[in-house]
Structure 1
C-alpha cells in the first residue's frame, strides 16, 4: 500500500481538478476513482471530488496495491446487435460479468470483446477497454461499446448529459396501482451494509421513471427509464417504494420466482452516433426464461 501526500498552497477549485494538476503521473479518471473509493482523506475524513480546496489543506491518498489481471481474449459467444468502426451494441446475457476483477478474472464481457472486436477504446483502466457503462452481472440486455477514444468520450458525455436513452423491463413483487410514476431519491452506499446501495440523504441524485405494462396480482411488469445511472439504481429504487425486483438476491424477498437472478432486462438503448450524429435506437427481446415466467403468470390470472 502506497501513500501520497498533497498540500494546497495557491491552488483553487475542485479537488479532483487540483489533484490532477499536481499529480501529473496519474490521470484524472484514476484520481476520480480514488475519490469514489474514499481513498483521499483530509484530516482522516474522506473527501469528495467537488470539494473546494483551501490554502493549507493537507490531503493523504492511500493507494491500494494493484491487483495484476492478465486480460485474455476468450472465444465466448457474444450477441453483437450492431457494430461499425466507432461503436458496437452488445446484448449481454444474464450471468455475465461486464469486466474482470479480483473475483472474476475471466469469462467476462471484456474477455469476449477482446476476441470478437478488433478495436476497443482505452480511456478506462486496463481491465475495462471499450466499456462506457455497465449493467449488473445478473441483469441482461443492451450495452454500448466504444471502439476508439473519441467515440468513448462522445458516448460518455451523452450519459452525463442525460441525452442517451435507456429503457428496462422488470418484473416486480406486488401490485402497483398507479400506471406511471417517478422515483426521485438519492442513492449511495448503505450505512449498515457496505456491499449494498441504499436511498440515503447524502447520496447522489437518482431518478427513475416507470410505466406499468401488465399486472398479475402478486407481480407487476414495468418498463423503467433511467435519468441517472447509479449502481443498482432500479433495484434499489423499486425496493425503496416497496416493489422489489423479482429474483433479486440482494434487495428482494427470499420467496420469489425461480430464475438465475433478478428479472431485469435492458431492452432499449438509444444514442447519437459519435461520428455521423445519426440517432440510433436498438431493442433486445426478453430472455427466454423471463418470457416463460411471464407466460406462467398470465395463465394463472
Structure 2
C-alpha cells in the first residue's frame, strides 16, 4: 500500500464558484484539492468543506481526483441531490475533459476500451485487468505541440482514474501523472495536466438544458 498522502491543498481566497442558484452550485475546482474530506485529520480540507462553510446546504454529487482540476456541480438540499445523482448514474450528464499528453499522437481520434480493476496491493491505484469493470474513453486531438499533444477526452464510463489509465495504455501518458505516467510524462509538468472543461445536463429545478465551460489553467 502507498504511503499516506502528503496533502498540501492550494489556498483559494475566493471560492471558485462559476454558477450559483437556489438548486445548485458549479465550481472550477483547483488541482491539488480533494473533492471530499479524507479519513485522516490532515486530509479534511476539501472542495465540499470549503463550500459548506459558506453554503451549508451544499451536497456532493460527483467527484474529481485530487490532482484533476475543473468543473464540479454540487446540489443544494437533499431533493436536488437525488435528482442530480440519478442523472449522473443514468449517464445523462455530458462530460468533457482536456489533457496534455506525452508525445505527438498520430491519429486524429479514437476510443480506448479496456477494463479497469482496483489494484488492491497498491490502492488507491487501479489497473487494466480482464476481470475489471468495462471502461471506455473517446479521445480527439485538439492540437499537436512540440513533443506533446492537447487532446479532448470523453469518458463513456466513470471508473476511478479511467482517463489517466487509458491514456497511459495508449502510450501517451498525461503530463504530470505521478501514478500512471512514465518518467518522461513527469518532466516539465508542475501538475497533472487533466482538466474537466465541460459539463452539460438538465437543470434539476427548471428542466432546461444547461452547459458550463472552464478553461484549463495549464494552457
Under a length normalisation based on structure 2, what TM-score does the superposition of the two structures give? 0.88
> Which residues of 2 match residues 188-267 of structure 1 at below 5 A?
188-190=117-119, 193-255=122-184, 256-267=186-197
CA distance in 1, matches of 2:149, 2:107: 11
For residues 78-119 of structure 1, the C-alpha deviation after alignment (integer angstroms, 9 at most, x for no partner) is: 111111111110100111111111244332112211122141
CA distance in 2, matches of 1:114, 1:233: 28
**Matching residue of 2:45:** 107
Unaligned runs of 5+ in 1: 1-73, 121-129, 292-301
For residues 268-298 of structure 1, the C-alpha deviation after alignment (integer angstroms, 9 at most, x for no partner) is: 11111112111010001111xx12xxxxxxx
- Superposed displacement of residue 260, structure 1: 3.5
> 1:76·1:112 contact (CA, 8 Å) conserved in 2?
no
Confirm whether residue 149 of structure 1 aligns to residue 85 of structure 2. no
CA distance in 2, matches of 1:102, 1:260: 26
- Superposed displacement of residue 217, structure 1: 4.3
> 1:270·1:281 contact (CA, 8 Å) conserved in 2?
yes
CA distance in 2, matches of 1:75, 1:171: 24
Q: How many residues align?
A: 207
1:110–1:191 CA distance, 2 compared to 1 (3 A): closer
- Superposed displacement of residue 267, structure 1: 0.6
CA distance in 1, matches of 2:214, 2:173: 23
Confirm whether residue 186 of structure 1 aligns to residue 123 of structure 2. no
**Matching residue of 2:57:** 119
> Which residues of 2 match residues 150-169 of structure 1 at below 5 A?
150-169=79-98
> 2:175·2:189 contact (CA, 8 Å) conserved in 1?
no
CA distance in 2, matches of 1:228, 1:275: 26
1:261–1:154 CA distance, 2 compared to 1 (3 A): same
- Superposed displacement of residue 148, structure 1: 1.4
CA RMSD of aligned residues (A): 1.8
- Superposed displacement of residue 188, structure 1: 1.2
CA distance in 2, matches of 1:227, 1:82: 25
CA distance in 1, matches of 2:202, 2:131: 33
Secondary structure in structure 1 of the residue aligned to 2:141: strand
Confirm whether residue 177 of structure 1 aligns to residue 114 of structure 2. no
Confirm whether residue 82 of structure 1 aligns to residue 11 of structure 2. no
Q: Which protein, 1 or 2, shows the higher relative CO under an 8 Å CA cutoff with sep ≥ 6?
A: 2
CA distance in 2, matches of 1:168, 1:284: 10
**Matching residue of 2:60:** 131
Under a length normalisation based on structure 1, what TM-score does the superposition of the two structures give? 0.65
CA distance in 2, matches of 1:92, 1:225: 19
- Superposed displacement of residue 194, structure 1: 3.3
> 2:175·2:181 contact (CA, 8 Å) conserved in 1?
yes
- Superposed displacement of residue 200, structure 1: 1.0
**Matching residue of 2:214:** 284
**Matching residue of 2:8:** none
Unaligned runs of 5+ in 2: 1-10
